[in-house]
């Protein structure tokens, strides 16, 4: 089963929530297009925190709240 998420911006309250799954997540979150170990490498956050969320649970970044929905 593919994990699904919704992401809400914490600063720009009027921004529409963005839905994505583990295959369509934004690159800034997954670090798919970064060099492993670079200062912009967020794989640790994606792999160790976001992907381990249980359905209904959330985690915050500096600017977003990411909630697992399925």
Q: Which pLDDT does position 23 carry in this prediction?
A: 96
Integer Cα distance of 69 and 39 in angstroms = 29
Give residue 19's domain range: 4-68
Q: Which helix (H) or strand (E) holds 6?
A: strand 4-9
Residue 56 confidence (pLDDT): 98
pLDDT of residue 10: 94
Q: What is the mean pLDDT of each run of 10 residues along the chain (70 residues)?
A: 96 92 95 86 93 98 96
Residue with tokens 């994606």: 46
Strand order in the sheet with 4-9: 18-21, 4-9, 64-68, 58-60
Domains: count for the chain: 1
Rg (CA), the chain: 12
């Amino acid at each position: 089963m593919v994990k699904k998420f919704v992401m809400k911006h914490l600063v720009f309250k009027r921004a529409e929530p963005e839905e994505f799954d583990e295959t369509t997540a934004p690159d800034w979150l997954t670090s798919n297009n970064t060099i492993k170990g670079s200062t912009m490498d967020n794989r640790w956050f994606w792999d160790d925190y976001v992907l381990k969320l249980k359905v209904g649970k959330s985690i915050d970044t500096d600017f977003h709240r990411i909630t697992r929905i399925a």
